[in-house]
Structure 1
Amino acid sequence: APVAAQAAVAATGDGSQAATARGWGAVVAGDEFSKAGAPDSTKWSVFKGSGHAGNGVRSPQAWSVANGVATVSGDSAGTTGGMSAKFAQQKYGKWETRMRTNARDPEYHPVLILWPNNNTSPNCAEIDYAEGSTNTAQIKFFLHYACGGSNFQTTAAKTIDTTQWHNYAVEWTPAGITGYIDGVKTFSDTNPAHLPSVGMHQTLQLDWFPDGSATKPSQMQVDWVRVYK
């Protein structure tokens, strides 16, 4: 049966970072997006091919980096982008990402994901620590802990203005998984059976979920991605 969210969603903070509030120490990997142009190929593998669930196209040209910010754009035809980190492909750790969207179309969903290394996990592990949906005023956290779809996930949701910069974080330890927005805990799952059994890495995606209506071009921007031990 579906598992209910295991932590009450708290009010968000003032833009503070979980890393600062929780004393995570020094950054061990990540990207400040200080190199203009295409995403840094030493740090990212940019997706090229069909979009989420076969909808639309993920194109490297959807990405650009300028003024310390990475931007991924989705157009009216479903051409959008995603990329996965070559850094911090690790089991356990802490990730934090500063992200915002424009006043996006409900068909475009911004997603910050920890994805299994080598694209393989015996329990179909996936940690969506910030995922938008058709409700553009809400961000969700999903921990997928078994194969079989939505029957095997723990979730939480927070009403938030995603057009403003916010800091989204996930902490993964042998004791459980915790999610934060602006340094405030919004998600927790401490069931050992729900934890990924393989190493994971960061992905950044703007996914297209067409509903048959006209699609308005949309954007997701990322100021930085930081990983801690």
Structure 2
Amino acid sequence: MISILVSGFLFVSDIFGYTQPVSAPPATPRHTFRKLAWSDEFNYTGLPDSTKWKYDVGGNGWGNKELQYYTKARRENARVEGGNLIVEARRESLMPGHEYTSARLLSKGKGGSQTYGRFEIRARIPGGRGTWPAIWMLPDQNPYGNHSWPDNGEIDIMEHVGYDPNVIHASTHCKAYYFRINNQKTGVTKLPDATTAFHTYAVEWTPETITAEIDGQLYFATRNENTGWEAWPWDKPFHLLLNVAVGGEWGGQKGIDADAFPQQMLVDYVRFYQMKKE
């Protein structure tokens, strides 16, 4: 990957020829992320560790007209085996009015919340038209604005939609910049084997910048404009979410290939590192 700074923007061009401009981070004190603060290596078998993970449950569309029903502590949808967490979306009529099941795990209230640092997840994501896997972060509390999304922020470490295979997105959303007004801060890159191989997806978050990378290669950066919480609500603890959605306003834009299911997201590890200044 080649990075070129031009007129205040960082153009990140990967070896596959896909180029995406992202805001260049300003000059700041150097940060290191050496202290492991929280992790799950998934070196056990069974349900996800209940001391580290809980579940969002239900099938209300989740604000995006998604079609899946998220279950709780159901091995068919979330389990650990072979050294990996498996989040599985299945075509099945388990709940009335829903043709698909899946799982959405979150680290909130389980020690997996942090303000600033490095957040690293090694995963293999699912394919199949209609899938919408995500590795992302939300705030533990909502003190700003109307006390709801997007005022208090969202950090998307990795998103992928099955109808656009092997194109990876990282984004931030807040009151001033978010997808419903089509001005969210976003980085996009191609990863030809995203659905067949493991890759390390990471975000580094400081008071000045949020950057995203894959396998150590930067492809997204946004900076604090210092104009208030509307543009930068990222100054309080956030937790991690891991899920595979089905359909929805983005994932379902090209329909759903029902024959593609079941589909799995495999997670090798999750690691949070604390920020230190040098």
Q: What TM-score does the superposition give when structure 2 sets the normalisation length?
A: 0.71
Q: Does 1:138 align with 2:150?
A: no
Q: 2:89 aligns with which of 71, 74, 88?
A: 74
CA distance in 2, matches of 1:221, 1:119: 30
Q: Does 1:9 align with 2:12?
A: yes
User: What is the CA distance between 1:48 and its match in structure 2?
Assistant: 1.7
User: What is the CA distance between 1:71 and its match in structure 2?
Assistant: 0.4
SS at match of 1:156: strand
SS at match of 1:24: strand
SS at match of 1:26: strand
Contact 1:78 1:208 in 2 (8 A): yes
Q: Does 1:201 align with 2:239?
A: yes
SS at match of 1:25: strand
For 2:132, the aligned partner's letter is: H
Contact 2:134 2:158 in 1 (8 A): yes
2:95 maps to none
1:84 maps to 106
1:42 maps to 51
Name the stretch that deviates more: 197-206 or 209-218. Answer: 209-218
Higher share of residues assigned helix: 1
Give matches, 1:115-194, under 5 Å: 115-118=138-141, 122=145, 123-133=151-161, 134-146=163-175, 149-160=180-191, 161-162=193-194, 163-192=196-225, 193=227, 194=231
CA distance in 2, matches of 1:79, 1:110: 13
Name the stretch that deviates more: 196-205 or 168-177. Answer: 196-205
1:65 maps to 80
CA distance in 1, matches of 2:236, 2:82: 35
Contact 1:72 1:221 in 2 (8 A): yes
Please report the RMSD computed on the Cα atoms of aligned residues, expressed in angstroms.
Answer: 2.3
SS at match of 2:45: coil
2:265 maps to 220
CA distance in 2, matches of 1:204, 1:180: 18
Q: Which consecutive unaligned segments of at least 5 residues does structure 1 have?
A: 1-5, 13-21
SS at match of 1:105: coil
User: What is the CA distance between 1:56 and its match in structure 2?
Assistant: 1.9
Contact 2:52 2:112 in 1 (8 A): no
Quick one: higher RCO (CA 8 Å, sep 6+), 1 or 2? 1
Report which of the two structures shows the higher radius of gyration computed on alpha carbons.
2
Q: What TM-score does the superposition give when structure 1 sets the normalisation length?
A: 0.85
Q: Which consecutive unaligned segments of at least 5 residues does structure 2 have?
A: 1-8, 16-30, 92-98, 146-150
For 1:83, the aligned partner's letter is: L
Relative distance call for 1:128 and 1:182 in structure 2 (3 A) is same
Q: How many residues align?
A: 215
